[in-house]
Amino acid sequence: MTETARLARLVTKLERPTDVSALVAFRVAFGLVVAAGALRFVAQGWVARCYLEPTFAFKYWGFAWVKAWPPAGMYLHFAVVILLGLMVAAGLFYRVSAALLFVAFTYLELIDVTTYLNHYYLVSLFALLLAFMPLGRAGSLDVYRKPASRVDAFPGWCTAVLRFQIAAVYGYAGLTKLNADWLLHGQPMQLWLSARNDLPLLGPYLDRPWSALAISWAGFLFDLTIPVWLSLRRTRLGAYLVVVAFHGLVGRLFNIGMFPFIMASAALVFFSPSWPRNLLRRFRGRAAITEWTFTRTAVPNPRRKLGYAALGAFVVLQSALPLRHFLYPGNVLWNEQGMRWAWKVLAREKNGSVSYLVTKPDGRRTIVEPTAILTDAQAREMSGQPDLILQLAHRIAKEFALRGEGPVQVRAEARASLNGRRPKLLIDPNVDLAVIDDGIGVAHWITQAPTEPPIRLKSLAESSP
């Protein structure tokens, strides 16, 4: 088969008409989860804690220009996110709503690096993808407004790209756990479980020596293989029940917000495109549909070559971005170079302490503590992330310069503990961070990761006389 024939066959599969019902269900679930998550964020008081209380914000490289709104503006912004989530769920002005949701939600992520979470990034990606899909042309208020726009089928690429993205999340999360700490020492799982031994029913078992290793291996195998089981018709239902149980347990053990709900609802795209319609027919006492006859199909965009090129670029980028840490020497869990946007979910436990030694032009020295500038939450996140330690060093140097006391040298006494190991220097204390530029190059001022085995905690049974 020639390359042209293969390409034509692929395009045919991508344009194959599929029942609208599964993707409509995904659209509704996604919009409702985003709206509920934003409402929860407001109700918990996190808007003030994350965006209004800080006097300094850590920025992503190239996005220093993104600033938080004033207080009223931030609450209004969250109200808009909630409204846009509901509009996407209802399919009201769908394309515009999905595009605006992507912009509005991504804006929140870009305000401060310390608010980064893997599932926030996933929400942005889903919103971006949905903005290019014709999911508002079925089961929506847009169809109610304009009945002539209704279709019975969506092109197959809509389902394919969503399945790819979900598989990428799980696959890379599994590969991240392919290390000695996770699979041989049960860390950081043992550290986390030892703090939850007060849970009813589960608590006494979480403290057992074998629990951490068993759960570590279960998490590794789940992440690495669940996309395969969801893709196979014979194992799909059982796999989905495992997805629900797994994310339910993880959500109970760890404070990971809306992530379990996002993944449990998103995994439904692996089922037949007609599953919601079949389910409704079963509840109505009719035979399940085995085949659906499409009367109207969403027509591919006339500029489909450009569209498929963009789709291919998205797939390549999302496949390559999580692998960029291989471009840097050392352990990514230590140096953090390539850590974000790589689906390193629950990958490590890292705690640190940082203080800055500022040397003035006349040789006088002073110590600056991060808590004098940051909130407690920011300080905790910053203490284990070298690029954030560098950003704060630049801020300190700038403040001294504005007071007419510069230029100063800023060195960091930064120690971090990885998966319970003894704290070790994270930053070369002899390097003047004030003259180091942030970027995507190798950060030679970050020390090498510790090589000794991680800590092993004793269970209560082992500790008792």
- Mention every residue, 6+ apart, whose C-beta is less than 8 A from residue 283: none
Gap between the Cα atoms of 413 and 410, Å rounded: 10
Question: Which pLDDT value is given to residue 459?
Answer: 54
- Is the pTM above the cut of 0.85? yes
pLDDT at residue 242 above 60?
yes
**Domain residue ranges in the chain:** 15-325, 349-435
Q: What is the pLDDT of residues 306-337, one digit of tens each?
A: 888 899 999 999 999 999 999 999 999 999 99
Mean pLDDT, range 38-49, rounded to an integer: 96
Gap between the Cα atoms of 80 and 78, Å rounded: 5
Q: Which region among 37-46, 118-127, 155-164, 455-464 has the lowest average model confidence (pLDDT)?
A: 455-464
Instruction: Report the sign of the C-alpha dihedral through residues 215, 262, 312, 340, in that order.
Output: negative
Q: What is the pLDDT of residues 203-217, one digit of tens each?
A: 777 777 788 899 999
- Residue 216 phi, psi dihedral angles, 5° rounding: -60, -50
Q: Name the band, by pLDDT with cuts 50, 70 and 90, for residue 464.
A: very low
Q: H-type helices in 351-464, by residue range?
A: 376-382, 386-402, 460-463
Q: What is the pLDDT of residues 69-118, one digit of tens each?
A: 999 999 999 999 999 999 999 999 999 999 999 999 999 999 999 999 99
Q: What is the pLDDT of residues 261-278, one digit of tens each?
A: 999 999 999 999 999 988
Question: Which pLDDT value is given to residue 12?
Answer: 77
Question: Which pLDDT value is given to residue 302?
Answer: 56
Question: Which pLDDT value is given to residue 287?
Answer: 45
